[in-house]
Structure 1
Amino acid sequence: MGGLKKLIINHLKQFGTLGILMVLVLSGLGLLLYSKGSHFQRFIGEIHPLIAMGSSVILGFISLSFLLSKKWFTIHKKYPIKKVFPYAGLTVFFALVAILIDINIVYPADMNIPFPESLLFYPIIAFLVEIIFHVVPMTLPLVTSTFIFKRSVYDRIVLPYILIVALVEPTYQVVFMESYTTWATGSVWVNLFFFNITQLLTFKRYGFISMYALRLLYYLIWHVVWGVLRLELLF
C-alpha cells in the first residue's frame, strides 16, 4: 500500500483526472439506472450494471496504476492538442465508414440507445469498453512477459501486443453478425481493427484519457448523431 500511496502522490494530477472521470461515470450510471436501467441489458446481459461498472472501475484503477508505475503507459499527460489531430481525423474517418456500411446493410432500427439518453449512456459504456477491451488486455500480457523473462522486454513486445489487443473488439463484434454477408462482417472487422490500433497508439503516446476521448468522438458520430439521423433516413 505504501508503494501505491507514493505513486498516487507522485502522479496526483493524473490520478485526480482518473478519479474525476470514474466519479462522473458512476454518477451517470446512477442516473440511468434510476430512469432507464434496461439500456444496459443488451450489452452486459444479466450482469447488474453496478457490478459491471464497479468492476471496470476497480480493474481500471489497478491496471492503470501498474502501467503507470512501470512507466509503460500514462493516465494523462500534457501535450500540444494539435498532436492528436491526426488520430481524431482517423477516428472521424472510421465512424464515417461505419455509417457507409450501415447505409448498405441497414442495421436494426433499435440498434442505438435513443436520444437524449444516448448522451449519458455512451460515455459510460465507453469507459467499460476501454477497460475491458484495451487496458486489461494490455496489462495482463505485459505483466506476464516481464515476470517470465525477469527483465525489461517492454520495448520489444509493446507494438506486437498492441496489434494483438486490437484484434479483440472487432472479433467480438462480428461474432454477433452471423446474419450478415461476408463483405459486411469483413468490412466491420477491418474498420474496427484499424480504429483499435489508432486508439492503442494514442494510449501509448498520450495516455488513457486521450484514448477514451477518441472513443467518445467515435460514439458521438456513430451512435448519437447518426443514431438519430438513420431513423429518419433509413426507415
Structure 2
Amino acid sequence: MPVPNSATLQWAQRVLEGLNATPTATNMKLASGWIVAEHGWAWNGSGNNPLNTTWKLPGSTNFNNLGNGEGVQNYPSIQEGLQATIDTLTQQSPSFSTLVEGLRNADYNLFFSAQGMQELDTWGTAGPYCKSVVDSVTGIPTQYLHAAGQAGAGATVEAGPILQRFFSDINTGANDLANLLGLNQFIKPGANTKSIIVGAGVAALILWLIAEGADNA
C-alpha cells in the first residue's frame, strides 16, 4: 500500500500543528490521506494549498474558477497557505468542527462519523472517497510522529542520556544490594540482576502480606 510523499507528509504535520494537535500515527494518516484525496499521490506542494481551500489572502491568486469569482487559491508562501487552511477549518461557516476534533484527538471514528462525512462533502472532498484513500495510507515514517508510543510496531526509540543513566544507576544499586545480601553466589553469570532483585522483593512483600493476614485472623 502507498506511503504519502514527503511534501504531503510535511504539510500534514504542519496542518496538525497549526490545529494544536500532536502528530500521531492516526492523525497523520487522516491528514495526509485527506491531502492525497485532494491532490493525488504525486503532489509536490505547489500552490501551498494542501486541502485546496478557497480562502483568500492578500497575494493569493485563483488556481481555478468555481464561479462568482471564487476559486481554489495559490498562496505565495507556506506560512500563508497554512494560515488559510487553518482559518478555513476553524473559522468557516458552516463549521468543520468534527473534522478538526477528529484530527486534534487522533480519532478516526469521529473524523469519519456521519457528521464528519457531511463536513467532508461540504468541504468538497467526497467523504467515501476520502475514507478509501485514508484507509490505503500506511507506514507513516517515524520522523513525522511526535507522540511517544506512536511510532508503530517494531519501531525502536533510543533512551536519552538521562534515562540511560537512570537505568545504569538501578543496575548498580541492584548489584550492590545483591552483594550486601550475599545473593551473587546464587545468580548465574549474565543473569538480569535487576529482574532477580525486583522479583525477590515482590516475593518478600507477598510473604509479608500473607503473614500479616494470618496474624490478624
TM range (shorter): under 0.3
TM-score (ref. length: structure 1):
0.26
TM-score (ref. length: structure 2):
0.28
Structure having greater relative contact order (Cα 8 Å, sep ≥ 6): 1
Q: Which protein is bigger by CA-based radius of gyration?
A: 2
